[in-house]
Structure 1
Amino acid sequence: MATAIFGKRIKELRTKKGMTLDDLAGATGSSKSYIWELENKNPPRPSAEKLSEIAAVLEVTTDYLIGRETTLETAEDKAFFREYSNMPQATREKIRAMARLLGSDAKE
């Protein structure tokens, strides 16, 4: 896992979401210095659990963070689907209905 990709992606996603180092640290149960080290040190050595927590907060896949997945859009879609899959059936039905409505607006 190269710092150039991993650290850069964490920092880009964090700032895109308007999060500070403190915000991401708090959301993942980490320290500010730990998040800073992941963004800046070579080589980063996050645990699988911490990597998963960071990906979930940043709404992407772990594969995207470590460079196995190259497009952000795909990583965001996969992360959304993972979250969607864990929702109650009634919630998923509402989301599908909303998607159909939004899709019909795009055709107009």
Structure 2
Amino acid sequence: MLGAKIRQLRKERGISLGELAARADCAKSYLSDIERGVRDNPSIQFLEKIASVLEVPTDFFFDRSYTTAQMLASELAPELVALVKQLDLGWLQLTQQAAASGLTKEQFQEFIEYARWKASQSADT
């Protein structure tokens, strides 16, 4: 799972294996082993370097609520895959966190409507 997350996120960012290894200052062969699941217990320092290059929190690799757009798309019905791939990863994570915190769709919609109203009030003044 860890290696798959790194690989998918690397591909979504358009970074080659060699480029990620160079930018994270680690061996390309080691990174390849991690991505393929040959090795599955990297150090926290390694993960911090990879997370920094990929611009995600280190928790991304440990917390199941963090996912890549492609991984999320693979869990969805085919008709939703194209839509999910178009969404920004941050928005996907935000909606997942809202749902996980118990926020209902109705409450989320109310918040959106309130934010629109508040913005219109600010624009009028």
* Count of matched residue pairs: 76
Equivalent position of 1:81 in the other structure: none
How far is the alpha carbon of 1:39 from its aligned partner? 0.7
1:69 is aligned, of 65, 69, 92, to 65
- CA separation in 1, counterparts of 2:14 and 2:65? 23
Percent identity between matched residues is: 35
- After TM superposition, the structure 1 stretch with the greater mean CA deviation from structure 2, 47-56 or 37-46, is 37-46
Equivalent position of 2:4 in the other structure: 8
TM-score, length-normalised on structure 2? 0.51
* More relative contact order, 1 or 2 (CA 8 Å, 6+ apart): 1
Q: Kindly report which structure 2 residues correspond to 1:1-108, keeping only aligned pairs within 5 A, or say none.
A: 5-71=1-67, 72-73=89-90
Report the AA paired with residue 69 of structure 1: S
Alpha carbon RMSD of aligned pairs, Å? Answer: 3.0
1:20-66 C-alpha deviation (Å, 9 max, x unpaired):
11001001111111111111125511111111110111111111122
- Structure 1: where are the runs of 5+ without partners? 78-102
How far is the alpha carbon of 1:68 from its aligned partner? 4.0
- CA separation in 1, counterparts of 2:33 and 2:63? 18
- CA separation in 1, counterparts of 2:26 and 2:35? 13
Cα pair 2:6 2:35 within 8 Å, conserved: yes
TM-score, length-normalised on structure 1? 0.58
Equivalent position of 1:93 in the other structure: none
Cα pair 2:34 2:42 within 8 Å, conserved: yes
Larger radius of gyration: 2
